[in-house]
Structure 1
Amino acid sequence: MTIVVPFAAGGAGDILARLVGAKLEQNWGQPIVVENRVGAGGNIGAAAVARAAPDGYTLLLAGSPQFAVNVTLFKQLPYDPMKDLTPLAMIAATPFVLVVNPAVPARTLKEFIAYAKASPQPLSYATAGPGVPHHLYMEMLKSMTGLQMNPVPYRGSVPSLNDVVAGHVPVMFVDLGPGLGQIQAGTVRALGVSLAKRLDVLPDVPPVNDTLPGFDVASWQMFAAPSGTPPTILAKLSSDLRSILETPEIVESISKAGMLPLPPSNTEDLRKFVEAEIARWRDIVRKAGIEGSQ
């Protein structure tokens, strides 16, 4: 079996795929390959699974960009998330943190906004590609503050964060999994979390929402199979994934990786959830002025 992750190794989706894949391998006695197929805001990997044989041997582990955001952000998608993919199990939500290189003279979000507005040239910010939360959350911040900033795309969270640590790019929204160690080590400074509540692992970092009311977002990840997969196979996959995701060991591992475990749910409820998320993110993307920008 192959689990396709549409982002580079080291990010939240990759961590989840390897956690769950190892358990599936133990349970089934069958090799599980995690394949990182990056590019186009995750659309390349998602499209590959949408076109794969519907036999249960190829799964997608992807998040809100591939299932919801990209529908509005991109002019055209090479797949339809509602028609070409069947949700199997929700996994986790991933909070993001606004971080800056320590050389940036700002210790709060308000100070950073003032610093960015005073810059003679628009600041650059790192992203893990177009349409992913790293990109979209910064565009939301820009639309709520009037900042002018330019995205610098990378092929994943880790390479983009590395360049913020090195000082090549001053700022980014980073997912908590790869970002937590750098924040704790002081190689980047955290200014705010994307959720409207503080995180237990970063109790001293306030929500962005405290400064910009209404800013309350997190990425989510789920497993999906190609549409047309036989119901008996879908039922087996869904049951086994849900069983694994509900084990205390996996719940603890997800939490330690900087994510928030979510109830696996069922296919029909997940379809309704994705439909609602498409509508929600359509409004956010339009308000940010970036509809069809990719």
Structure 2
Amino acid sequence: MRALIFLLSLLFVSPTLAQSYPERNIRMIVPYPAGGSTDILARTILQPLSEALGKPVIIDNKSGAGGILGTTEAARATPDGYTIVFGNLGPNALNASLYKKLAYDPIRDFVPISKVVDVPFLLVTAPSTGISSVSDLIERGKKDPIALTYASVGLGSASHVTAELFRRQAGIEMRHIPYRGGAPATNDTLAGQVSVYFITPLEGISQVQSGSLKSLGISTASPSPLFPGMPTIDKTLPGFQVVVWFGILAPAGTPPAIVAKLNDAITRAVAAPAVQETLKQLGVEPKSSTPEAFAATIRADVDKWAKLVNEADIKLD
């Protein structure tokens, strides 16, 4: 009965809240350290988002446990529109199957507001490995089951599960070499110490452009205009597609009228010419969305990665 009264009250209160919201600064939790990829993307839209809302949006870096600490704090925040979180595939979808005792539910405890950007993976190798294409990689794996290795930024990371998905779909063996972060994984890939690495453009665009890393393919379903001439992995391995999305969510229970106002502001911020140009230079695709479409994306990814994680028996607790 109390829940029904609360829901009915929102029908009357939400329009009023939307008219006056926001009346003070908005805190946007970034559950990763300052200077990292997630932080860079969040700061790219910070100024235009503040302008669209008419009040400053202040980033609060709450890093720890692979994004879990900051995401947990966001889930427990008052659902009044004054605390939002800059989430991504890891803490807001993948973690649902990696952890048995996660302190939040990625679907139940959040209301998605809008995606901000889609980030592909580039499957890279050092020129010294002599691997020339995705088909060449697969052929080598089938000829010699112990020859290939792949780097990741850590057990259970998006780069790890993406490589595992590739390995399983290709029907080959590749030994996993986990690293503590992108820098050492990239360095050992450059040196040819590991065969391949699924790297994001945020980490590796300069090395790919300079030729110090060779990209065998991109993980999007269709060719990317940001990487002209680069083949999709899907061309050789039909059905293979992985996109790491980043977007903004609010605690569950945030009034719909405030969600709508935030969505409108994010859409305008992402569409700003300076934001579009900066994101494209980083090799990622600006991608705002409706709350409903974002929620559907999250649900689909929770299901997709749960199947892979369970089959591969990847657990982090």
Judge same fold: TM > 0.5, yes or no: yes
| Counterpart selection for 2:120 from 87, 95, 109 | 95
Distance in 2, matches of 1:9 and 1:165, equals: 25
Matching residue of 1:191: 216
Return the letter of the residue paired with 1:30.
P
Deviation at 1:82, TM superposition (A): 1.4
1:127-166 matched pairs, under 5 angstroms? 127-144=152-169, 145-155=171-181, 157-166=182-191
Q: Which moved more, 1:276-285 or 1:207-216?
A: 276-285
1:49 match? 74
Give the equivalent residue in structure 2 for 1:275: 299
Asked if 1:211 is matched to 2:231, the reply is: no
- Gap regions ≥5 residues in structure 2: 1-25
Aligned residues: 289
> 1:273 and 1:57 mapped to 2: Cα distance?
24
Which residue does the alignment assign to 1:246? 271
Contact 1:90 1:223 in 2 (8 A): yes
TM-score, reference length from structure 1: 0.84
Q: Amino acid of the residue matched to residue 154 of structure 1?
A: R
Of 53, 58, 64 in structure 2, the residue corresponding to residue 32 of structure 1 is: 58
Is the alpha carbon distance of 1:241 and 1:263 closer, same or farther for their aligned partners in structure 2, counting shifts above 3 Å?
A: closer
Q: CA separation of 1:122/1:50 partners in 2, compared to 1, >3 Å: closer, same or farther?
A: farther
* Contact 1:73/1:292, CA 8 A, preserved across alignment: yes
Equivalent residue letter for 1:225: A
Q: Deviations over 1:204-240 (max 9, x none)?
A: 3221112211112211121011223355544443332
The Cα offsets for residues 64-94 of structure 1, whole Å up to 9 and x where unpaired, read as 2322232223333221011211211111211
Distance 1:89 1:120, change over 3 A: closer
Moved more, 268-277 or 256-265: 268-277
Aligned partners of 2:145 and 2:298: how far apart in 1? Answer: 42
Change (3 A) 1:204 1:231: closer
Q: Are the counterparts in 1 of residues 29 and 62 from structure 2 also a CA contact under 8 Å? A: yes
Task: Quickly say closer, same or farther: Cα 1:96–1:88, change in 2 above 3 A.
Answer: same
Mark the CA change 1:53 to 1:228 in structure 2 (over 3 Å): closer, same or farther.
same
* SS of residue matched to 1:125: strand
TM value normalised by structure 2: 0.78
Which of 86, 95, 116 is matched with 1:61 structurally? Answer: 86
Q: What is the RMSD of the two structures over their aligned residues, measured on CA atoms? A: 2.8
Task: Mark the CA change 1:135 to 1:292 in structure 2 (over 3 Å): closer, same or farther.
Answer: closer
1:293 matched residue in structure 2: 315
Deviation at residue 143 of structure 1 after TM alignment: 0.8
Displacement of 1:29 after TM fit? Answer: 5.5
Q: Distance in 2 between matches of 1:97 and 1:10?
A: 21
Q: Distance in 2 between matches of 1:10 and 1:158?
A: 13
Out of 105, 112, 115, the residue aligned to residue 130 of structure 2 is 105
Secondary structure at the aligned position of 1:83 is classed as: coil
Contact persistence 2:116–2:266 (CA under 8 A)? no
Percent identity between the two aligned chains: 31
CA contact (8 A) 1:90 1:221 kept: yes
Indicate conservation of the 8 Å contact 1:10/1:158, yes or no.
no
Q: Deviations over 1:108-162 (max 9, x none)?
A: 122223444566856442223333321111001111222131141323x445324
Moved more, 179-188 or 128-137: 128-137
Deviations 1:4-44 (A, max 9, x none): 3344556553332011123334554636225161434x333
Distance 1:160 1:54 in 2: 39
- Aligned partners of 1:46, 1:244: CA distance in 2, in Å? 23
Separation in 2, partners of 1:190, 1:78? 38
The structure with the larger Rg is: 2
Bigger mean CA offset, 229-238 vs 125-134: 229-238
